[in-house]
Structure 1
């Protein structure tokens, strides 16, 4: 026997109405206890709401954009009489001692025992941080010699569930630091020693915990989207090409912003002290950071403004964006941008403005390769393997990257990081926009393995089920319009990569063979490259070599 059970939003702390920003299950899915169902977002944090029951989803009662609160019905699940049922796991609050949500900590405060001090050197240790153990220090916000206050944030730590700031239990002067970025800490770990003269009987301030947002895919041109995983340690550093790099001193005086917003600012190289927050109590939001970047990229370094125009430099003046009531001219419909497109503007603009793009256009004769591909598809039809031109392109690009290693690199200040791995990203069309799954270690895989993997990744992308690991680590991107049309285009480089290959639709072209013209299947290639790293001659050689491999794929075996 089975029964229908309603799964509701549990107690989510001091949050009232929150927006549903992501649905993580569908009708018909079989879910388990504690499996994440939806992602909600407030002005403080994003969090995933887990399931209290296991079973089959028979009805969804919320959708993206809805507002929910404690007790809102998320979905109906069909459970068997023997199915396991969880109840909300009580979490001790600072004062009320009431039960709170089993959701990953959002704004839960966890106090440590009170400590009485009468001055001198005091040890500041990690208080009780709930069920987190051996969390990683991702940011140290004070330095030896700093004068700190009670409840001032000292370090930021991160687990697989959340980022949180650890506040100070005492005020005074920092005389010794005992942790550094990358260390693992737990309850009771010594953070620092502080010299204090004031009498203090206060308990350590509660730890403010904020859930790290999920992966936000980012459009880098009209056909390519990249994604930065929220837990990828590489995203904790400011972009090496960013115009607004943060110093260690600036980090120690950051204004009111959540850890996730601070990390987002570091990704873009934004100085948060220059931003006025629009959130409650002047809290800086992700939208504030995006707006700042857009404004900063539209003005000159000296920020000169004359008569309403913005001087970009070199005598070029950019007018303010026109504000027009289009309804005066006829019927209109207002439709919100998808989340993918909404968050992409700053990254698009940054990459286009800050990277000196040049595009080399060439063509490759794929007559024999296409015939070989069609033959393989017939031979492997029963095996379920479908060979696409993309699989051959990925394999050929790997050979090009080995021959021209500067294309498999990234800029890090004045240094060029040459990668010894070959992870190739490719554009995948989805209902909400284009995302870029990554084929890892493409150099170690056969064409048939690449064909199978790209098909699986593309399906996951369309279903919105790509994991962070499947969208990170790429060192070169292929943006293919082959199934749509076009001749050539200029793809925008996906920083921190230094090149991107655009592929357009193949077509028949008459070619002189020395005796007569014969039709040859030709594919257009558009290679955009960062001119700070790659010169025109190298780009031309890359495209020529790629065309040679595609025209006679036996060369890829050499």
Structure 2
């Protein structure tokens, strides 16, 4: 019987096949890795859905595949033969080398794996259970922290913790085995040969050492031999993109991955070495471009302690990563900020009336000014689609989005995060109010998932509850614009006959000048202000 093997749900668009781990004729066990793929945000391995013998391989390295793509066919009869052969080998092995399977009536051991967290590897920061604990379904098992947020991994089912496979500081990703649970309703079956598994792990760990390239060395100012990053054979699309962002020539980076493959850490180390050269003056002195395009003097080295008492306070992981992203966006995007004011006198009166009505009806919802600003922004984005776009990776075209997802900057104890509220243009004020309350609470509690912060079209950063009259928000790439909101204030406004007190809301719209010109930005900001001045316009 022939069995077709398809790509499972990998939660992404097309991904590139980077390595095929089996060949025709191989006997494959269920869940054995068949090939490696890499997408925009992560690399992963595709496992076999069931056991069998590889009959044909329908893809090759470099092909693009997606969920449902046919990648291989298995011979089913070979699968059964392989299974019988494995059983025979297990019986033949001495008891000293292989732990015999144990059966306990009414219980079973099940694997607990990391669910789809929509990103690269994340770091385990806390383990919330211990061996022997009885765990309920959806109870938090551990905390992890990635590039954009920290989150908790829940139990997919109830059970008793039998074994914990990870420790604090380990890196895990979607599909990683983290624990074994003992559950009710089946037979507990121990692995037939743990010694064999350990031997295979040892061999797998030893193999890359023989093939690994030398550790990355300091970049030489006189080295040449440029190779286009797009044609570089031993770097994934993700790494090529990272190299382009930093302006790095991958031909000069020593890869430490498998078979000399350039990995993310290699590029980061190379950039760090370049920065050190710049700080020491070597980059500017060499004249070979190692100053990364900036003729800068070295960063001042100051011993602050000699002037008085100091304390070194480490930045949180989110602050470090946010800082790097903000620096990249500020340097790479030509920013211009358009300032304006919106008369929200009528809006504020209406908002207070609706809040009083909601309290009277015990609706359990509170309308904030931000919710009305979100609706006004969504309406303005539909009228000015250029603001709801992104530049293509090569900068040759503009990608116009037909959906309106707004990022809302939230200040948390660990740093700034930007959860995304989806389809704002399709939701009402009540629904948005509740969703905004929920997502803001998740952000402050550190429970945002990767999907909570993906897909944003335009960001709003509101400092209205703190103060200030204006500021220059930094565009959140790959978006092309961002709205900054400051504290509203009563100001005298001339109505043609006399001055009237009006509640004015300061607006600061920063935009990417490669995409948006000044006249368009002024019209967008004026339109947004008019919607806020008469909120009835957003329902038209």
TM-score higher than 0.5:
yes
Are 1:470 and 2:449 an aligned pair? no
What SS is found at the alignment partner of 2:515? Answer: coil
Q: Distance in 2 between matches of 1:399 and 1:49?
A: 37
What is the aligned counterpart of 2:313 among 317, 329, 335?
335
Q: Is the 8 A contact 1:88 1:99 kept in 2?
A: no
Q: Distance in 1 between matches of 2:243 and 2:399?
A: 23
Match of 1:37 in 2: 142
Match of 1:516 in 2: 498
Instruction: Mark the CA change 1:397 to 1:108 in structure 2 (over 3 Å): closer, same or farther.
Output: farther
**TM-score, structure 2 as length reference:** 0.59
Are 1:396 and 2:376 an aligned pair? yes
Q: Which has the higher strand share?
A: 1
Instruction: Mark the CA change 1:245 to 1:283 in structure 2 (over 3 Å): closer, same or farther.
Output: closer
Q: Is the 8 A contact 1:54 1:84 kept in 2?
A: no
The Cα shift of 1:329 comes to 2.1
Q: Distance in 1 between matches of 2:369 and 2:503?
A: 13
The Cα shift of 1:98 comes to 4.1
The Cα shift of 1:532 comes to 0.8
Q: Is the 8 A contact 1:246 1:270 kept in 2?
A: no
Are 1:97 and 2:200 an aligned pair? no
Match of 1:325 in 2: 303
Q: Which stretch shifts more, 303-312 or 319-328?
A: 303-312
Q: Is the 8 A contact 1:310 1:319 kept in 2?
A: no
- After superposition, give the CA deviation of every residue in 1:476-500 in whole Å (9 maximum; x if it has no partner): 1101111111111111111111111
Are 1:378 and 2:356 an aligned pair? yes
- After superposition, give the CA deviation of every residue in 1:41-85 in whole Å (9 maximum; x if it has no partner): 9xxxxxx9997994799xxxx997699xxxxxx99xxx9x98689
Q: Is the 8 A contact 1:245 1:270 kept in 2?
A: no
Match of 1:411 in 2: 391
Are 1:22 and 2:125 an aligned pair? yes
Match of 1:123 in 2: none
Q: Distance in 1 between matches of 2:476 and 2:458?
A: 8
What is the aligned counterpart of 2:234 among 227, 233, 253?
253
Counterparts of 1:283-302 in structure 2, within 5 Å, are 286=264, 288-290=266-268, 292-293=270-271
What SS is found at the alignment partner of 1:482? Answer: coil
Provide the aligned C-alpha RMSD in A: 5.0
Instruction: Mark the CA change 1:98 to 1:368 in structure 2 (over 3 Å): closer, same or farther.
Output: same
The Cα shift of 1:35 comes to 6.8
What SS is found at the alignment partner of 1:343? Answer: helix
Match of 1:364 in 2: 342
What SS is found at the alignment partner of 2:196? Answer: coil
The Cα shift of 1:325 comes to 2.4
Counterparts of 1:144-183 in structure 2, within 5 Å, are none
Are 1:352 and 2:452 an aligned pair? no
The Cα shift of 1:513 comes to 2.2
The Cα shift of 1:507 comes to 1.1
Q: Is the 8 A contact 1:408 1:476 kept in 2?
A: yes
Instruction: Mark the CA change 1:304 to 1:271 in structure 2 (over 3 Å): closer, same or farther.
Output: closer
Q: Distance in 2 between matches of 1:347 and 1:527?
A: 19
What SS is found at the alignment partner of 1:514? Answer: coil
Q: Distance in 2 between matches of 1:464 and 1:383?
A: 27
Instruction: Mark the CA change 1:487 to 1:431 in structure 2 (over 3 Å): closer, same or farther.
Output: same
Match of 1:3 in 2: none
Match of 2:92 in 1: none
**TM-score, structure 1 as length reference:** 0.57
Q: Distance in 1 between matches of 2:422 and 2:156?
A: 36
Q: Distance in 2 between matches of 1:384 and 1:349?
A: 40
Q: Which stretch shifts more, 375-384 or 540-549?
A: 375-384
Q: Distance in 1 between matches of 2:262 and 2:193?
A: 29
Q: Is the 8 A contact 2:469 2:487 kept in 1?
A: yes
Instruction: Mark the CA change 1:248 to 1:82 in structure 2 (over 3 Å): closer, same or farther.
Output: closer
Match of 2:472 in 1: 490
- After superposition, give the CA deviation of every residue in 1:502-552 in whole Å (9 maximum; x if it has no partner): 111111111122333222111110000111110000000000000000011
What SS is found at the alignment partner of 2:500? Answer: strand
What SS is found at the alignment partner of 2:197? Answer: coil
- After superposition, give the CA deviation of every residue in 1:303-357 in whole Å (9 maximum; x if it has no partner): 96138998676xx741122222222222222222111122234322221111111
Instruction: Mark the CA change 1:368 to 1:291 in structure 2 (over 3 Å): closer, same or farther.
Output: farther
In the alignment of these two chains, the number of paired residues is 383
